[in-house]
Amino acid sequence: MSYSNVIVKSLDTDVFLIALNAINNIIANLFFETGKGNARRIISLNKTKQHIGEQWCSSLIGFHKGRSDVNSVRYEMFKGGKYDEELLPSNQDSLDNHIRRANYQCYIWRHAVQPILRLPDFCDHGWKLDEEGNVTINWMSLAPAPDSILEFVNCKCKKGCENNRCSCVKAVMKCSDLCKCTGCKNSSTNITDSLESDSDTYNSPDECSSSDNSDDEN
């Protein structure tokens, strides 16, 4: 039994692109229903194909899933004062692994109409197996930054930088001018002040000897 009209219903853009890519393998008028309430709409995928062309129908998955020299952008942002990792784009190594995962996922989507897929090894496409055999994301194969940059650990603590909640303390480093902490007790300045304070009350051996002699004379 075949149907002349097929409606795919979803709120997910991924499903829309998968259906658009699969349109040549579905012998029917294909529609995509999305939205809720007054925003509900039905889109003719056959008309969409006629409008944008068959090549775009199969290419949009890649444009949607993957996003490239990011190292230079990351470096310029770092020089501009953005030191927090969450404010920086991924480095090229991390991005390459992400692209491999996106490409792997796109391959599955492109062949979504096949009941059984023979897939390549996912460990070559941005994933890995941990010691317990679980599949985990392989975020990076290189260090996130050169060692000289990693030394510039900084924090924004508001409670004195006294425990491992402080990224500098955790890295066994003193807070620096890059930090924006309050009431810091982990800075090199505190150590210098302490040494200077000690030197104010320090007596040289000669001074002690002179003082002792004067006491004896009295």
How many helices (H) and strands (E) the chain has is answered by 9, 5
Give domain status of residue 31, yes or no. Answer: yes
Question: Helical H runs in 54-184?
Answer: 54-65, 70-79, 92-110, 147-150, 167-170
Q: Which residue has the tokens 């990693």?
A: 150
| Domain shared by 131 and 161, yes or no | no
Give domain status of residue 67, yes or no. Answer: no
The pairing of beta strand 41-44 with beta strand 29-34: antiparallel
pLDDT digits (tens, 9 = 90+) for 127-165: 999 888 899 988 887 766 666 665 667 788 988 888 878
| Domain shared by 1 and 41, yes or no | yes
| Domain shared by 1 and 51, yes or no | yes
| Domain shared by 35 and 5, yes or no | yes
Give domain status of residue 202, yes or no. Answer: no
* Predicted local distance difference test score (pLDDT) of residue 179: 83
Strand (E) or helix (H) holding 129: strand 127-129
Give domain status of residue 117, yes or no. Answer: yes
Range of the domain at 160: 146-188
| Domain shared by 51 and 18, yes or no | yes
Q: How far apart are the C-alpha atoms of 81 and 156, rounded to whole Å?
A: 14
- Please state the rounded mean pLDDT for residues 197-208: 42
Q: How far apart are the C-alpha atoms of 154 and 214, rounded to whole Å?
A: 53
Which is more confident, 214 or 76?
76
Nearest to 96 by CA among 56, 62, 64, 68: 68
* Predicted local distance difference test score (pLDDT) of residue 109: 84
| Domain shared by 104 and 116, yes or no | yes
| Domain shared by 139 and 152, yes or no | no
Q: Categorize the per-residue pLDDT at 3 as very low, low, confident or very high, splitting at 50, 70 and 90.
A: confident
Q: How far apart are the C-alpha atoms of 65 and 202, rounded to whole Å?
A: 68
Nearest to 54 by CA among 31, 82, 20: 20
* Predicted local distance difference test score (pLDDT) of residue 218: 41
Give domain status of residue 183, yes or no. Answer: yes
Give domain status of residue 10, yes or no. Answer: yes
pLDDT digits (tens, 9 = 90+) for 166-191: 888 877 777 877 788 888 988 765 54
Residue 126 · residue 93 · CB < 8 Å? no
Give domain status of residue 99, yes or no. Answer: yes
| Domain shared by 89 and 139, yes or no | yes
| Domain shared by 131 and 160, yes or no | no
Which of 30-34, 81-85, 204-208 holds the top average pLDDT? Answer: 30-34
Domain tally for the chain?
3
